[in-house]
Every structure is written in C-alpha cells, then in structure tokens.
Amino acid sequence: MSWLNNRRALAYTTLVVAFIFLLGINALSNNVFRSASVDLTEDRLYSLSSGTHKVLTEMDEPVTLRFFLSPKLAQVVPAYAVYAARVRNVLRRFAKLSNGKIRLEEYQPVAFSVEEDRAVAYGLRGVPVDQSGELVFFGLAGTNTTDDQKTVAFFHPSRERFIEFDLTRLIRSLSTPKKKIVGLISSLPIQGRFSMRGMVRPWAVYTQIRDQFDVRPLTAPKRIPKDIDVLMIVHPFALPDPTLYAIDQFVLKGGKLIVLVDPVPEAAPRRRTMFGQGPIPPGSDMPKLFKTWGIELVGRKVVGDIESAVRVRTQFQGRSVVAPYVVWIDLGATSLNRQDKVTKGLRRTILATAGALRKLKGATTKLTPLIWTRKHASLIDINKVRFRPDVVKLYQSYRTDRRAYVVAARVTGQATTAFPKGNPVKPKKKAEKKSGKKADGDAKKKAATASKKTGKRKAKEPEKPVHLMKATKPIDVIVVADVDWLTQGYWQSTTNFFGERITVPTSDNANFIMNALDTMSGVEAFTGLRAKGTAQRPFTKIEALKKKAEEKQRATRGELVKELAKTRKELKDARTRSKGGKLVLTADEQKKIEEFRRKLLRIRRDLRLVKFEEQKDIEREQTRWMRINIGLMPLMICAIALVVVVARQRRRRRKIVQS
C-alpha cells in the first residue's frame, strides 16, 4: 500500500505546484505582458497601422490629450466599460509611441466637480444615463502649443471600429497645422448652397476633405494657382475653353488631377414641373482633354450590372415590390485594384448610373483600371434612366454584354496639349484695343512721371506664362465616371445622438477620394487606415446564391408577368363592352371572361410556384452551408480526439508487448 500512498502524495503535490505555477504565471502576465496582445481579425482591426506609426514618430510639435471618462457611465452601462478600456489603451499606446510628443491626461468628471467644468469648457458632450439627470462624459480634448483645439465630443459605440482613424486624424491636425492645398472646381452644390428653405448642408465628403486639406474653390479659372497641390474637378459641365486650357497646362506641368464626370448626374438639382420633378440634367464630360490623355467616356450610356445590382423598393402594376435596379451597382473587393495605393485595402463601393471609360487606340498613355464591373455588365441608354426609370422593366429586359467595364481609372504617361494654337482667350475688339492702348499710354506716362519724382526704378512686368506643347514629366490623372457616389446616401449612414450627428461609413466611396487626395498630395498617413472601418460585412456566399437563384428564374418570371398583364388587359376590355351605358354580354363573351379568369388564376399560381422554387433553392443552399459551418468544427475536434485515442492505445499496446 506504500506505493499507492506515494502516488497519492505525488498527485496532491503536483496539483499544489500546478496551482502555484498558474498563480505565478497570471501575476507575471499582469505585470510584464500588460500591453501585449494578439490580433487575429481579418483586417487587423486592433493593430496600429504603419500610417499611425508614421504620424506619431514624425510629429512636428507636442500635443496634449485630455481624456474624460465619468465612472458612473461604466457602472450604469457595463457595455461602455469594455469600450472605454479599449479607448484608454489606444491612447496610452499612442503616448508611448510618440517619444514624449504626446502628453496624456486622464480625468474622471462627476457631478458639480472641477473636472466636469473643464469637460464642458472644452466642448465635450454630457449624456444622461438615468432618471437623476446627472450627465456623464466620455470624450477627448486635444490641444497644441499654439492653442489649436480638436475634440471628440463623445465616443459613440457605432464608431468603435474607427478609433484609430479618428485619433490619428485628430493628432495629425494638431501636430501638423499646415495643410496641403486642394483646388476645387464644381458645378454641383458640394459646398452647400442657399435655397428657399434655408441653407443646404455641404456634402459629407466635402466636410471630410475640408477637415484634412485647405480647400480653395475655383470658379471658371483662367489659370490654376501655382500653390495648388491637387486639383479636383466635380461634374465639369460646360467648362469654357480658357478653363480647359488652364487645366491642360496644369496637368502638363506635372500637376495632380482628380476628375469626376457623369453621364446621368442624379445629384444635380432638378427643375420642378407641373408633373412633378423634371428629368435629370445633362451629363458632364471633357472630351477635348480626355482625347489628348488617351481615354474617352462612352457617350450616352450608363453601366448596368445585374450581378451587383442594388435592390430597391418600387411600384409595379399598382403594388409595392422590391427589385434589382441594374444601374445602381454594389461592387466588392474583387472589382477593386489591389495594387494601386488608392484602392488597396478598400472592400466595397456603390455607384449610381455610372459611365464607362475606355482607352483610345494609339494612346501614348497608360490606363490602369481602379474600379470595374463584373463580367456580365451591359451598357444602357441614358434615356431609360433620366426620367422616371422603370426598375422592373430594366431588370426584365436586361441583356448582358458578357464583359466588364471600367468606371474609374488612373491615367499616366506622356501627353500633349489639347490646345496646340495656345491660349484660346478671345481677342479684344478694335474699340477695346484702341481704348486699351490709350489707357496703357496714359498709365505709362503716369508711371514715368512718378518714377522721375520718386527716383525709383521701373517695376518689372509680370512674366507671361509659358505655353507647353507636351508634358514636362509623365502626367498623373484619376478619372471616375460617377459623381452621385459622393452623395451621403451611397457611402454612410447618420444618426442623431443627443443633438450630435454621428456618421458611420457603409462603403468606401469617400475613402477612395480621400486616399486619392492623400497619395497625390504626398500625404499617405491615412492610406490603408480608413478602410479598416468598413461597417458592413455581408454574407457574400448567401448573396451570391440569392442572385444565382433569381437569375435562374428571371426568364420564366418575366414571361409569366407579360402574360399576366396581357390577360388582365383582355379581361378589362371584355368587361367594358356595353350598349347604352349598360353591360350587355353574350353567352360566348361570358364564357370568354370565365376563361380569362381561370387563366389569370393559373398565371398567378405559376408565379407563386416560381417564387416558391426560388426561395426553396436559396433555403436549401443556406441550410447546407449552415451545416458545414456549424458541424465542421465539432467533427474536426472529434477526429483529432479519435486520432489521439488511437495513438494512445497503440502506445500502450507497444509498452505491454515490450514488457
């Protein structure tokens, strides 16, 4: 029995040692590995990006961050405790990586305290969490040495995935006050406008651009200022030749350009008519410049893509239905260039009535697609979508071209001017020339008299701009064949949080523009950082199955719908036959009406069967993939356990045989 007691004592001793070892490891990890973590998410959501590291290590001046968190918030709403801990950890990591350039101060404001007064003074937003009416704070105030101030009024949970981006942007705006300059030419109210109902807000994307860049609006300029870092043109509708010449020379000198054209600009203001809202205004294009750059916008066509169509609610035969709108397309990561810095890391973009770009034959430039449709796209005449488009009819009559179309591209390489004769400024009339000469002569006499009196030298006349016939270096132009995608509804959702507008991106439309401005202006701190916060993560496999089932039944459903409409019309014509205002039908006509009724019921039944089979196919595939996803892991664990058991049994048998 002594050997049994020894084994029990050894087992108890082992348990005690293991328990002590576990406590030691736990204590060591809490003290030594407090900041250590492993990020296993697909998009590295919890890891700081290289852009953030660059901003923190290249700060021009120190920044003070004041973090306000009310203790009561975590007590009343436990979900905020985890969120607040993450915000605090990110701020501490920022302070650690900044090499002393970031000073972090933490405050815990309570009711009627000095900390609460400071939070209110910095403009942070207090939120009530219970019946007492006491306000809690969860925000950040940042200042620099020149008393510039930036704040996060309240860390809303909907922007949890954007913590790194929001904080990096705040720190960079404080540590690098000087902003790059973006020249803006736009025929759309992107900056906001006055209307009969008051001031219309600027577009959300314009607000983002203005926060990061110094935006200079240009109205039909005859010359682009030299200090413009990037020129952005939105919907260049009917630009005069002098402005086109200024753009041409700007690009040939090496200026960076982003152009957004659109064959059907749904975002453009429409005129009201007696029948309601009028048609969509004419589209925009720059064929004179595009031709010299080796590209063209396909005329009077918009791109349709049945595989990526957005589903919308519409009216069909007096009923409200949901149908795919083939000219509104939702493109995923497979339609985005993964190599270019502008689209690298982006995952989703939504376009509306976009055009198609293509390279011209004999072009000396290179066209690099940035966004393209899927392979079953089609070109649709703009007249079908400019005024009251029939969503269902467009879907039923859709015919694929079996090819993909480019909707956004980068154009690089050698190019020549579109104005070989020089500046197209209109010459002055004879009368104007004479009066101008006389005025010039008077001005010269006055200048000569003044110079004699003052003894000063004659001022030098400004140098005339040099006309370039070809580019001094390879051009760099980004062209997008859609402007509607910049409107808020296509890329973000907005909620009101106690008077504050909280925005959450739903696609990467604005990220595309901001990345383009960053890379072209030489500021790449945020490139790849914005895309980490793509809000929607759709079940792509299920969506593909739904589209496949719809496509399979689309032809049958379309024929039945046409037959249904025809039968209804025939039945209506038969019922309205009358003499003297009274309904008089023969026996044959009554029999025909009964046949129409039976036919109508049969068609409706067939439509229900088609819909039922369509849904049945989807549910069957969903069930199959659900079983795979749910059952695969337990099966793998069982298989591993079985292998371990078999291996142990074989090991025991070998020991028995050897003994």
What would the mean pLDDT of 579-587 be, rounded to a whole number?
53
Highest-confidence segment of 454-463, 489-498, 576-585: 489-498
What would the mean pLDDT of 363-387 be, rounded to a whole number?
95
Structure-model confidence comparison of residues 410 and 601, the more confident one: 410
- Domain assignment present for residue 342? The answer is yes
What would the mean pLDDT of 281-304 be, rounded to a whole number?
96
DSSP symbol at 532: G
- For residue 432, pLDDT over 50 is answered with no
Structure-model confidence comparison of residues 102 and 456, the more confident one: 102
Q: 372 and 251 share a domain?
A: yes
- Domain assignment present for residue 659? The answer is no
Confidence of residue 433 (pLDDT cuts 50, 70, 90): very low
Q: 606 and 532 share a domain?
A: no
Structure-model confidence comparison of residues 412 and 465, the more confident one: 412
What pLDDT is recorded for position 467? Answer: 92
- Domain assignment present for residue 447? The answer is no
- Domain assignment present for residue 164? The answer is yes
Count of other CB atoms within 10 angstroms of residue 113: 13
> CB within 8 A of 350, min separation 6: which ones?
310, 328, 329, 330, 331, 485, 490, 491, 507, 509
What would the mean pLDDT of 573-597 be, rounded to a whole number?
60
At 150-193, the pLDDT tens digits run: 999 999 888 887 888 889 989 988 988 788 999 999 999 999 87
> CB within 8 A of 192, min separation 6: which ones?
199, 200, 201, 202, 203, 206
- For residue 564, pLDDT over 90 is answered with no
Confidence of residue 509 (pLDDT cuts 50, 70, 90): very high
Q: For residue 533, what are the domain limits?
A: 179-269+278-419+467-538
Domain termination site, one of 158, 174, 190: 174
At 131-150, the pLDDT tens digits run: 777 899 999 999 998 888 99
> CB within 8 A of 568, min separation 6: which ones?
600
Count of other CB atoms within 10 angstroms of residue 497: 14
What pLDDT is recorded for position 284? Answer: 96
Domain termination site, one of 538, 563, 594: 538
What pLDDT is recorded for position 40? Answer: 52
Q: 340 and 396 share a domain?
A: yes
Q: 94 and 159 share a domain?
A: yes
- Choice among 104-118, 160-174, 240-254, 533-547 with the minimum mean pLDDT: 533-547
Q: 401 and 299 share a domain?
A: yes
Edge-to-edge strands, sheet with 309-316: 309-316, 319-331, 349-352
Q: 404 and 473 share a domain?
A: yes
Alpha carbons within 13 A on the beta-carbon side of 405: 29
- For residue 197, pLDDT over 80 is answered with no
Q: 193 and 235 share a domain?
A: yes
What pLDDT is recorded for position 580? Answer: 44
What pLDDT is recorded for position 579? Answer: 46
- Domain assignment present for residue 103? The answer is yes
What pLDDT is recorded for position 107? Answer: 96
- For residue 589, pLDDT over 80 is answered with no
Closest CA to 356 of 338, 333, 329: 329
Tell me how many domains the chain contains: 4
Q: 534 and 571 share a domain?
A: no
At 71-110, the pLDDT tens digits run: 999 888 888 888 999 899 999 999 999 989 999 999 999 9
What would the mean pLDDT of 610-614 be, rounded to a whole number?
69
What pLDDT is recorded for position 161? Answer: 79
343 vs 511: CA distance, rounded Å: 9
In the chain, what percentage of residues exceed pLDDT 90?
45
- For residue 619, pLDDT over 80 is answered with no
Confidence of residue 49 (pLDDT cuts 50, 70, 90): confident
286 vs 281: CA distance, rounded Å: 17
Chain-wide mean pLDDT for the chain?
A: 82
Q: 497 and 365 share a domain?
A: yes
In this structure, are strands 181-186 and 214-217 parallel, antiparallel, or unpaired? Answer: parallel
- Choice among 60-74, 314-328, 413-427, 611-625 with the minimum mean pLDDT: 611-625
What pLDDT is recorded for position 12? Answer: 73
- Choice among 212-226, 248-262, 491-505 with the minimum mean pLDDT: 491-505
300 vs 353: CA distance, rounded Å: 11
- For residue 69, pLDDT over 80 is answered with yes
Residue linked to tokens 């959501």: 45
At 367-377, the pLDDT tens digits run: 999 999 999 99
Q: 252 and 372 share a domain?
A: yes
What pLDDT is recorded for position 431? Answer: 45
- Domain assignment present for residue 652? The answer is no
How far, rounded to the nearest angstrom, does the alpha carbon of residue 202 sit from its chain's CA centroid?
Answer: 17
> CB within 8 A of 333, min separation 6: which ones?
346, 347, 348
What pLDDT is recorded for position 316? Answer: 82
DSSP line for 199-254: EEPPPHHHHHHHHHSEEEE-SS-SS--TT-SEEEEE--TT--HHHHHHHHHHHHTT
Q: 140 and 161 share a domain?
A: yes
- Domain assignment present for residue 448? The answer is no
428's tokens: 């002055």
- For residue 536, pLDDT over 70 is answered with no
Q: In 33-77, which residue ranges form alpha helices assigned H by DSSP?
A: 50-57, 71-76
520 vs 514: CA distance, rounded Å: 10
- For residue 535, pLDDT over 60 is answered with no
- Domain assignment present for residue 73? The answer is yes
Domain termination site, one of 538, 563, 597: 538
Q: 549 and 509 share a domain?
A: no
What pLDDT is recorded for position 567? Answer: 64
Strand partners, 217: 184
Structure-model confidence comparison of residues 625 and 636, the more confident one: 636
Structure-model confidence comparison of residues 398 and 553, the more confident one: 398
- For residue 534, pLDDT over 50 is answered with no
What pLDDT is recorded for position 576? Answer: 58
What would the mean pLDDT of 425-444 be, rounded to a whole number?
52
Q: What is the CATH number of the domain that holds 202?
A: 3.40.50
Structure-model confidence comparison of residues 227 and 648, the more confident one: 227
What pLDDT is recorded for position 404? Answer: 95
> CB within 8 A of 290, min separation 6: which ones?
296, 297, 479
Q: In 408-478, which residue ranges form alpha helices assigned H by DSSP?
A: 430-454
